[in-house]
Amino acid sequence: MTKRICGLSLLLVFLLALLPGVLAAGADTQQRVFDFAALLTESEAAALEEEIAALSGELGVDLAVATTDDNPQSAQEYADDFYDAHGFGVGGDGTGALLLIDMENREYYISTKGQMISRLTDSRIDNILDEMEPDMKAGDYSQAIAIFLDQVRGYVANDPPALPQAGEFDRVFDGAGIFSDGQPAVLQSRIDALCAQKGIDLAVVTADYVGEMTAREYAQQFYQAQGMGKDGALLLLDMDHRDVYIATFGQMASILSGSALDETVAAVIADAEAGGYYQAALTFLSKTEPLVEKAQLRAERTSPGRILLYAGGSVLVGLLVCLLVMARYRSRGKGYTYPFRENGKLELTCREDRFLSERIDRRYSPPPPPPSSGGGHGGGGGSFGGGSSTHTSHSGSTHGGGGRGF
Amino acid sequence: MPSVTYKCPNCDAPLVFDAGTQGFYCDFCKSAFTKEELDSKAGTETQSQTASAQGEEGHAACYSCPSCGAQILAEETTAATTCYYCHNPVILSGRLEGEMEPELVIPFQVKKEEAEKAFAQWVKKKWFVPAPFKQESEVQALTGVYFPFWLADCKVEGGLEASATRVNSWRSGDYIYTKTEYYSVRRAGSVFFDNLVRNALKKSNRQLIEGVQPFETQKTQVFSLPYLSGFQAEARDIDAKEYAGEIAAQANEYAQRMMRDTIDSYTTVQITGNSLHLAESHFRYALFPVWTLTYRGPKGTVYYYALNGQTGKVFGRLPLSYPRLGILLAAVAVPLFLLALLGGFLL
C-alpha cells in the first residue's frame, strides 16, 4: 500500500511538474513567433513578437510567424494545421494569417483564414512572396518577415479600399500595377482622341482590392468620384476577384448593351485570360469606337431632318411613278409626218456638176519620231479565372493561401 | 333637206355597209349585196325631201327620217347619222351634193366587233381608269364616223444651185498634200407629191385626228353614198383654199430636200440659189373612217378614244381615276420611306 501511494504521488508530482509547461503552452495566447528552426536570434524573436502584437491590434486581425525544420508534410498542411491547432484568429471565423518558413522543404508559405482569405487574395499573396523572395534566398529571414508584416499592413489597412487618386493620367488608373511603362500613356492618348472625336468619356481602371463591393459598385463609384462625363464607359479589371466589368453611363448605356456588350466583354476576357491586360484594355477601346461611331451615324440618319428628307424623296419618287402612268394613259400622238421621200417623185430635167478649178496645198509636216520603247509619246462582366483559392485543412476548417520554394 | 336611207331590195329593211365583206348587209333577212348589185338594183333608196324654212345647206337643219318621218335636228356638219327614234341609218345627202360631194372614201375595214375588242384590250390593262369607263355600256358607245379630209396632190417645179467642194488629203514623205476641187452644181426638174393629208373639219379633235393617222391613201375608193349607211359622217367645213399656203410651203421644203439629196459625193455643199415653187396643186375631198368613243368625265373633261377604221391604229386619252392614282402614290412612297428609315436604323 505504501508503494502504491508512493507511485501515485510520484506521478502527481511528475504531472504537476509538467503542468506549468502545459499550462504555459495552452495559456500562452500571446506568443506569435514560433522559431523552431532557430532562424532568428532571441532579440529578433522578441522584437518580432512585439511588432506582431502591435500590428494585430492595429489591424484587428491575428498574425503569426512560424519556422520549422522538421516537417514531414507539405508546407501548406503544416501551416494550416499549426494555425488551427493553436487556435489563432480573431472573430468567429478565425480571421488571421500565418507565415511559415519550412526549412525542411525549403518553402515559405502564407496561410490565411476567415476574412483574411479575401483580404489577402492569391495575387496579393503572390506579390508578398515576390517581395520577400530576395531576402529569403539570401537567408535574411528576419528582413523577409519584416517585409511580410509591412505588406500585410499595406493591404489590410485599406478599409474601405481607397479609390486611386488622379495621378499622371486622368483616365487610366493602374491600381493593380499590371501595366508596364509606357502602356498607360498609349491608352490615355487613345482615350483622349476618342473623347475629342466622339464626345464620350472613357476610362480604364485596374484594382487589386475592391473590398466588400462588387465590381459593378466599385466601377460606378469610381466613375462618379472622378466626375466623368454624362455619357461614358469604364473598364474595370478587378484583379481581386479576377473580374472584368464594363460600366456604361448615359448614352453609352444604350450604345454598349445587349449583344454588343457581351461581345466586347468576351473579347476583353479572352485577352485578360491570356494574361494580356494591356491588350484587354486596347480591345475594349477598339471595340467601343466602332460601336459609338455606328450609333452616332444611326442617330444622324434618323434625325428629324433626315426623316423629312426620306418622306420628301419617297413622295417624289411616287409622284414620278404616277406621272409615268399618266403619260402612258395618253397615247403619244406620234405626229404623223408625211413620208415625203417615199411618196415624192423626183424628175430631174437638169443635173449639172461643173468642175471649176482645183488647188493643191502642200504642208511640211515631218512624221513624229518613233516613240521610245518603254517610254512614251492612281457594365456586364465576367471572370477570368482565379480569385482566392481555398482548401480545407485536416481539422476541417477552410484556409486560403499560397507559397513557393526558395 | 333631202335625206336618204338605203333599203334592202328583198325585205325593205335598212341596209348597212359591212366592213367585213365590204358589201352591204340586211340585218332583217340576212341578205348581203355587193356594191355593184346595189347599184344595179333600182329603188333601193328611200328618199325624203323636207323643205325646211330655216334649213339651208351648211347650217343646222331639220330633216325628216325617211323611214319613220320623225323630225330630227342635225348639227351643222353632220352628213350621216342614225334616226333617234327608229334607229335607221339616215344619210343627209343634201350635204354631200354638188361641190360638197366627196371624191374619195376609204370604207370601214375594221368591223365594230373588232373595234370593240381592241378597245376592251387597250383598257383592260389600265388599272387607273375609273370603273364606269370600263363598263359594257361605254364600249357600246363606240361609233363609226367618217371624217372629212383634203388630199392634196402637188407639183413643185424649179431647181437648186450650189457651190460644192471635194477635198482629198494624203501624205507623201515629209509633206501632207491637200487637194481641193471646186464645183458649180445645178439641179432642176419637177417633184410630185401625192396625197398630202389635211383635216377638213373645224370642230374635230385635232389630236384625235392626227393621232390615228396615217391612212393608206392609195387604197381610196371612188365615193358613193351607200358606203355611209350605218355610220355617221361629217361634211367638211374647212375650205381647200385655207391650206394653200401651208401646202405650198410644205411641198417646197420637201422638194428642196429631195433635190438636195441628189447633190452627193461632195465634201461641202452650199446652196446659192433656190427657184423651187409650187406649180400645180389639186385638192380632193375624201372621207376617212374612224371608230370613236367619247367619255365625259365627272368634271366635264372629255376623254376620247379613236381607232383608225382602216388600219386599226389606236389613239386615245383615258380618264384617270385620281383616287386610284393616289393609292399608287402611297403604294410606292410608303414602302420607300419605310425602307429608308429601316436603312437608317440598321446600317
> Would an 8 Å CB–CB cutoff place B274 in contact with chain A?
no
List, for residues A363-389, the tens digit of each pLDDT value: 988 877 777 654 433 356 666 655 567
What's A134's domain CATH number?
A: 3.10.310.50
Residues on chain A touching B197 (C-beta within 8 angstroms): 336, 338
Given this model, what pLDDT does residue A378 score? 35
Given this model, what pLDDT does residue B270 score? 92
Q: Of A166-170, A180-184, B114-118, where does mean pLDDT reach its minimum?
A: A166-170
Q: Which of A301, A328, A359 is the last residue of a domain?
A: A301
Residue from A168, A395, A279, A347 nearest B258 by CA:
A347
Cβ separation of B314 and A331 shorter than 8 Å?
Answer: yes
List, for residues A49-96, the tens digit of each pLDDT value: 888 888 888 887 889 999 998 888 888 899 999 998 988 888 777 888
Residue A300 sits at φ, ψ, to 5 deg, of -65, -40
pLDDT at B278 > cutoff 70: yes
State the best of B329, B338, B342, B345 to mutate against chain A, taking most chain A CBs within 10 Å: B329
Highest-scoring range by mean pLDDT, A155-164, A269-278, B5-14, B221-230: B221-230
Cβ separation of B330 and A318 shorter than 8 Å?
Answer: yes
Q: Do A140 and A200 belong to one domain?
A: no
| A117 inside domain | yes
CA angle, residues A8, A10, A16, in degrees to nearest 5: 105
Question: What distance in Å separates the CA atoms of residue B11 and residue B31, rounded to the nearest whole number?
Answer: 9
Q: Do A185 and A284 belong to one domain?
A: yes
Inter-residue contact B332 to A317 (CB < 8 Å): yes
Residues 140-169 of B with CB under 8 A from A: 159, 164
Cβ separation of A338 and B250 shorter than 8 Å?
Answer: yes
> Would an 8 Å CB–CB cutoff place A364 in contact with chain B?
yes
Given this model, what pLDDT does residue A205 score? 83
Q: Do A94 and A194 belong to one domain?
A: no
**Interhelix angle for A277-301 vs A183-198, to 10°?**
10
- Please tell me which residue, A3 or B215, carries the higher pLDDT value: B215
Q: Do A150 and A215 belong to one domain?
A: no
Residues 58-97 of B with CB under 8 A from A: none
Domain residue limits at A218: 172-301
| A203 inside domain | yes
How does residue A279 score in pLDDT terms, banded at 50, 70 and 90?
Answer: confident
| A272 inside domain | yes
List, for residues A328-356, the tens digit of each pLDDT value: 766 655 567 788 888 888 899 999 999 99
| A225 inside domain | yes
Residue B36 grid cell: 355593184
Q: How would DSSP label each residue in A179-248?
A: S-TTHHHHHHHHHHHHHHHH--EEEEEEES--TTS-HHHHHHHHHHHTT--SSEEEEEEETTTTEEEEEE
B50: which residues sit within 8 A by CB, 6+ positions away? B1, B2, B3, B62, B63, B64, B71
Residues 284-303 of A with CB under 8 A from B: 297-298, 301-302
Q: Who among B190, B207, B345 is closest to A302 (CB)?
A: B345
Residues on chain B touching A360 (C-beta within 8 angstroms): 177-180
> Would an 8 Å CB–CB cutoff place B301 in contact with chain A?
no
- Please tell me which residue, A315 or B136, carries the higher pLDDT value: A315
Question: What distance in Å separates the CA atoms of residue A394 and residue B290, rounded to the nearest whole number?
Answer: 117
| A310 inside domain | no
DSSP conformation class of A105: T
Q: Do A116 and A213 belong to one domain?
A: no
pTM of the model: 0.53
Q: Which of A106, A125, A157 is the last residue of a domain?
A: A157
Cβ neighbours of A255 (radius 10 Å): 23
pLDDT at A359 > cutoff 90: yes
Cβ separation of A347 and B258 shorter than 8 Å?
Answer: no
Cβ separation of B178 and A360 shorter than 8 Å?
Answer: yes
Inter-residue contact B175 to A362 (CB < 8 Å): yes
List, for residues B58-73, the tens digit of each pLDDT value: 466 777 888 888 887 7
Burial of B3 (0-12, 13-18, 19+ CB in 10 A): buried
**Residues forming beta bridges with residue B337, ordered by sequence position:** none
Q: Which of A301, A325, A341 is the last residue of a domain?
A: A301
To the nearest whole angstrom, how far is the Cα of A297 from the nearest Cα of chain B? 8
Q: Do A88 and A184 belong to one domain?
A: no
Q: Who among B180, B181, B258 is closest to A341 (CB)?
A: B258
| A119 inside domain | yes
Given this model, what pLDDT does residue A399 score? 79
To the nearest whole angstrom, how far is the Cα of A261 from the nearest Cα of chain B? 17
Given this model, what pLDDT does residue A387 score? 59
Mean pLDDT of the residues in chain B: 83
Q: Who among B164, B181, B192 is closest to A344 (CB)?
A: B192
Q: Do A149 and A198 belong to one domain?
A: no
Residue A62 grid cell: 491575428
| A48 inside domain | yes
Q: Do A45 and A13 belong to one domain?
A: yes
Question: What distance in Å separates the CA atoms of residue A361 and residue B178, rounded to the nearest whole number?
Answer: 5
Cβ neighbours of B27 (radius 10 Å): 14
Q: Do A149 and A293 belong to one domain?
A: no
As for how many domains chain A has, the answer is: 2
Residue A114 falls in which region: left (phi positive, over 0), alpha (psi -120 to 50) or beta: left
Given this model, what pLDDT does residue B55 score? 43
State the best of B253, B336, B339, B347 to mutate against chain A, taking most chain A CBs within 10 Å: B336
List, for residues B6-53, the tens digit of each pLDDT value: 888 888 788 888 888 888 888 888 888 888 887 777 656 666 555 443
List, for residues A130-139, the tens digit of each pLDDT value: 989 999 999 8
Report the pLDDT averaged over residues A299-313. Answer: 80
Q: Who among A297, A302, A352 is closest to B186 (CB)?
A: A352
> Would an 8 Å CB–CB cutoff place A54 in contact with chain B?
no
Torsion sign across C-alpha atoms B332, B334, B338, B343: positive
To the nearest whole angstrom, how far is the Cα of A260 from the nearest Cα of chain B? 14
To the nearest whole angstrom, how far is the Cα of A200 from the nearest Cα of chain B? 21
Q: Do A112 and A41 belong to one domain?
A: yes
Share of chain A above pLDDT 70, in %: 86
To the nearest whole angstrom, how far is the Cα of B191 from the nearest Cα of chain A? 4
Residue B165 grid cell: 467642194
> Would an 8 Å CB–CB cutoff place B327 in contact with chain A?
no
To the nearest whole angstrom, how far is the Cα of A197 from the nearest Cα of chain B? 20
To the nearest whole angstrom, how far is the Cα of A369 from the nearest Cα of chain B? 12
Q: Do A99 and A13 belong to one domain?
A: yes
Question: What per-residue string of b and e applies to B186-220 under the rule 16 or more CB within 10 Å gives b?
Answer: bbbbbbbbbbbbbbbbeebbebbbbbbbbbebeeb
Q: Do A124 and A191 belong to one domain?
A: no
| A367 inside domain | no
> Would an 8 Å CB–CB cutoff place B344 in contact with chain A?
yes
Residues on chain B touching A340 (C-beta within 8 angstroms): 193, 254, 257-258
Mean pLDDT of the residues in chain A: 80
